[in-house]
């Protein structure tokens, strides 16, 4: 595939051209929604009337902190949406009155727009988790990185009915300075994590619970998954962990922007 690039200058030129197309497409989506030119692609101050703060450029530093303060945690849910597991995760969150951040794969969002809208309607936030979930994208061309981020942004925004992702989380944490700044210029704060629940490996519900309980002192942003296989252990672990976190005195917030 040309976008995977790297085969001499011709491949890079093709990839670059496609990357520019992706940038232009993403910008025009923003323009159509907000009714003003150029606001999605640069740091220039836009005319105030339509300048929703969430579309303004944000910091390009990787966020870990919570906007809920020193005793808040951020629940983050990656790789969906998934028609089996996302509704179950949403139900546990709802039962516990917890808001979370969902890092979505663009084509999955496009395939399940009703789930994206449920996530938004419940008050959760969206995060761009790229098109292909390529954990080696930090080794790829800038054009490829741009395509992965901006195409997913477009797909997620379209699926949500116009609600934009507020964060960008690189697959496997494969950030680059380029991708961080690109995402930030589109209003998506790069998002890291402090606690990996390791739920992806399906070690058993008790092990997921124990990992989070042990490591919750490491920082506020906790990583879970609602896709990529059977996530029943994740659902069960959240059912235990959310009340436990409250008992420990934690509240729940969103990652800082
Ligand atoms: Zn992921």
* Chain segment 137-152, per-residue pLDDT in tens: 999 999 999 999 999 9
Q: Give CA–CA dist 43/163, Å, rounded.
A: 20
CA neighbours closer than 13 Å in the CB half-sphere of residue 19: 21
Model pLDDT, residue 33: 35
Ligand 1 centre from 171 Cα, in Å? 5
Ligand 1 centre from 160 Cα, in Å? 19
Q: What is the pLDDT of residues 70-111, one digit of tens each?
A: 899 999 999 999 999 999 999 999 999 999 999 999 999 999
Q: Tell me the pTM.
A: 0.80
The residue among 132 and 29 whose pLDDT is bigger is 132
The mean pLDDT value of the chain amounts to 85
Ligand 1 centre from 188 Cα, in Å? 16
Model pLDDT, residue 39: 32
Q: Give CA–CA dist 202/206, Å, rounded.
A: 10
Ligand 1 centre from 35 Cα, in Å? 33
Model pLDDT, residue 56: 83
Residue range 176-195: average pLDDT?
98
Residue 13 φ then ψ, to 5°: -65, -45
Model pLDDT, residue 22: 39
The residue among 20 and 161 whose pLDDT is bigger is 161
Model pLDDT, residue 9: 29
Ligand 1 centre from 7 Cα, in Å? 27
In whole angstroms, how far apart are CA 184 and each of 29, 85, 137, 178, 202? 17, 30, 17, 10, 33
pLDDT of 6 strictly over 90? no
Ligand 1 centre from 95 Cα, in Å? 25
Q: What is the pLDDT of residues 46-80, one digit of tens each?
A: 444 444 444 688 999 999 999 998 899 999 999 99
pLDDT of 28 strictly over 70? no
Residue range 160-184: average pLDDT?
98
Find the range with the poorest average confidence among 37-46, 134-143, 169-178, 215-224: 37-46
Residues lining ion ligand 1 (Cβ < 5 A) are 78-79
* Residue positions annotated with a catalytic role: 78, 225
**pLDDT band, very low/low/confident/very high, at 36 (cuts 50, 70, 90):** very low
pLDDT of 18 strictly over 60? no
201: its two tokens = 């490996």
Q: Give CA–CA dist 130/137, Å, rounded.
A: 10
Please give the share of the chain, as a percent, with pLDDT higher than 90.
Answer: 77
Find the range with the poorest average confidence among 29-33, 119-123, 182-186, 201-205: 29-33
Ligand 1 centre from 110 Cα, in Å? 17
Find the range with the poorest average confidence among 42-46, 91-95, 233-237: 42-46
Ligand 1 centre from 133 Cα, in Å? 6
């Amino acid at each position: 595939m040309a976008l995977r690039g790297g085969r001499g200058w011709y491949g890079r030129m093709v990839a670059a051209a496609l990357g520019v197309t992706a940038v232009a497409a993403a910008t025009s989506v923003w323009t159509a929604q907000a009714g003003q030119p150029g606001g999605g692609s640069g740091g220039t101050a836009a005319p105030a009337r339509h300048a929703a703060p969430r579309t303004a450029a944000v910091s390009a530093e990787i966020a870990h902190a919570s906007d809920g303060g020193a005793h808040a945690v951020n629940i983050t849910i990656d790789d969906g949406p998934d028609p089996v597991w996302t509704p179950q995760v949403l139900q546990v969150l709802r039962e516990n009155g917890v808001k979370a951040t969902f890092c979505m794969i663009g084509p999955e969002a496009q395939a399940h727009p009703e789930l994206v809208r449920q996530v938004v309607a419940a008050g959760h936030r969206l995060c761009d988790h790229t098109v292909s979930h390529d954990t080696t994208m930090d080794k790829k061309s800038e054009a490829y990185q741009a395509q992965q981020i901006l195409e997913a942004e477009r797909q997620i925004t379209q699926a949500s009915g116009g609600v934009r992702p507020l964060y960008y989380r690189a697959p496997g944490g494969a950030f680059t300075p380029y991708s961080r700044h690109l995402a930030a210029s589109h209003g998506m704060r790069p998002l890291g994590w402090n606690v990996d629940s390791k739920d992806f490996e399906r070690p058993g519900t008790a092990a997921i619970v124990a990992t989070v309980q042990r490591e919750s002192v490491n920082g506020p942003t906790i990583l879970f998954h609602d896709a990529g296989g059977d996530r029943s252990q994740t659902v069960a672990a959240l059912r235990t962990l959310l009340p436990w976190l409250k008992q420990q005195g934690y509240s729940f917030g969103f990652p800082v922007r």
